[in-house]
Amino acid sequence: MRAILNIFWLIGKEIKSTLGDPVMVGLILWSFFFAVMMEARGAGDTVHNASIAIVDEDNSPLSRQIASALMPPWFQPPLYMTANQAAAAMDRGDVMFTLNFPPDFGSDAIAGRAPVAQLLADATAVSQAQLGSDYLRNIVADESRVFLTGRSDAPVPDLDLELRRAFNPNGNPVWFKTLSSLLNQLSLLTIVLTGAAMLREREHGTIEHLMVMPLSPVEVALSKVLAVMLIVLVAFVGSLLVVVQGILGVPVAGSMPLLVMGAAVYLWAAAAIGMLLGTLARSMAQFALLIVMTIIPIIMLSGGFSAIESQPDAVRRLTMLLPSRHFLAFAKAVAFRGAGLAAVWMQLALMISLGAAFFAASLVLFRRSMNVTG
């Protein structure tokens, strides 16, 4: 009972110390509200608001119909130019695409002579140039088919591949990026706050006070881990309700309590990693270097940047030791597929086990730093 009370009062001290630091409070608010929103809506893998010029040397109903299909949010309203004007605009970087309809484009299409329209793309923006070219190719093909057959569902030659997306029907990249961003912020903040709390005790000289108090290393370590878990979990829930569901409109198909419980389990593992790094480091400079070495693999190999299945075999096996991999798999299953506890218990068990292993290792080092045996 006395140990529980000690941990309770130490948690209160840690929370007061963290919330009393304006920089820490600002970092928490920035990470879970503004950073999540910016990352989710930021560098997307879809074309958005791309500028395009039309060089219409045909001025047929078909060319005008294709031009009218280029509309927001994918493209800005087309700018009609001459060939020389469009070339100069691309040189200045004013337009990203130029679509050129040659003379007799419409009449050749009606006669079945397979006319060719020229598309120029500014490939300095490689990703958008490739994606935009695919968009434009599909638009030209679809509008031509409607114009020639009068039917939007007319068959195309050879093969018509029908694509249906599961769990994200519109293919909205914001959904996945939001969860990935939340994972990144959970990892970064939890590890940094836990390790910084440990180093703050050492740099302020209060670690000696703890050493002479009737406290065990387990009580001190648990209080720091639990305090950070509580602070970050509250911020996570706020971000989930206000930013993810409110502002970004990302639905959660599964149980919200289960998702929060999984986040708490992941926080346990991440805080244990932060405790381990904070115990290994002897200064904030060393801790910063350890953070860089740790956070990058945690974020890059979790499955948020590239699918786990696409990684080399050796790396894929190594990621089994990363709690972030298991949390992202858990979160996607619950949030998008509506999975229940029976489907995700393995990820929860792995996160708990990895957290226990990291906490045990940090506790061994912490005991040595406090010159306590046993």
**Which CATH number is 96's domain given?**
3.40.1710.10
Co-location of 223 and 301 in the same domain: yes
Asked if residue 90 belongs to a domain, the reply is yes
Q: H-helix or E-strand containing 211?
A: helix 207-212
**What does the pLDDT average to over 218-225?**
79
Co-location of 126 and 248 in the same domain: no
**What does the pLDDT average to over 212-224?**
72
Q: What's the pLDDT at 255?
A: 92
User: Is this model's pTM higher than 0.75 or not?
Assistant: no
Most confident of 89-98, 206-215, 257-266, 294-303: 257-266
* pLDDT greater than 90 at residue 263: yes
Higher pLDDT, 340 or 154: 340
CA end-to-end span of the chain, whole Å?
Answer: 21
| CA–CA distance, 296 with 299 (Å, rounded to integer) | 5
Q: Locate tokens 């950070």: which residue?
A: 228
**What does the pLDDT average to over 267-285?**
88
Co-location of 61 and 131 in the same domain: yes
Co-location of 121 and 196 in the same domain: no
pLDDT tens for each residue of 135-168 = 888 888 888 888 877 666 665 544 444 555 667 7
Co-location of 143 and 290 in the same domain: no
Q: Locate tokens 């992202």: which residue?
A: 328
Residue 34 is part of which domain span? 2-42+170-369
| CA–CA distance, 196 with 239 (Å, rounded to integer) | 23
pLDDT tens for each residue of 289-331 = 888 888 888 888 888 777 776 678 888 888 899 999 999 889 9
Asked if residue 307 belongs to a domain, the reply is yes
Q: Which of 149, 184, 210 is the last residue of a domain?
A: 149
- The confidence band for 373, taking pLDDT boundaries of 50, 70 and 90, is very low
Co-location of 178 and 139 in the same domain: no
Q: What's the pLDDT at 161?
A: 44
Asked if residue 154 belongs to a domain, the reply is no
Co-location of 23 and 103 in the same domain: no
Half-sphere exposure for 190 (CA within 13 Å, toward CB): 32
Q: What is the DSSP letter of 153?
A: T
Q: What's the pLDDT at 157?
A: 43
The answer to whether the Cα torsion of 136, 139, 141, 147 is positive or negative is negative
When divided into structural domains, the chain yields a total of 2
Asked if residue 286 belongs to a domain, the reply is yes
Q: What's the pLDDT at 18?
A: 74
Half-sphere exposure for 207 (CA within 13 Å, toward CB): 22
Co-location of 250 and 354 in the same domain: yes
Asked if residue 157 belongs to a domain, the reply is no
**What does the pLDDT average to over 90-113?**
84
| CA–CA distance, 285 with 292 (Å, rounded to integer) | 11
* pLDDT greater than 90 at residue 220: no
Structure tokens that stand for 16 in this block: 């007061």
Co-location of 209 and 354 in the same domain: yes
H runs (alpha helix) in 20-68: 22-29, 36-41, 61-68
* pLDDT greater than 50 at residue 332: yes
Asked if residue 164 belongs to a domain, the reply is no
Residue 53's DSSP bridge partners are: 79, 98
Burial (0-12, 13-18, 19+ Cβ within 10 Å), 210: middle
Look at residues 221, 258, 224 and name the one whose alpha carbon lies nearest to residue 365: 221
Q: What's the pLDDT at 158?
A: 40
Co-location of 38 and 64 in the same domain: no
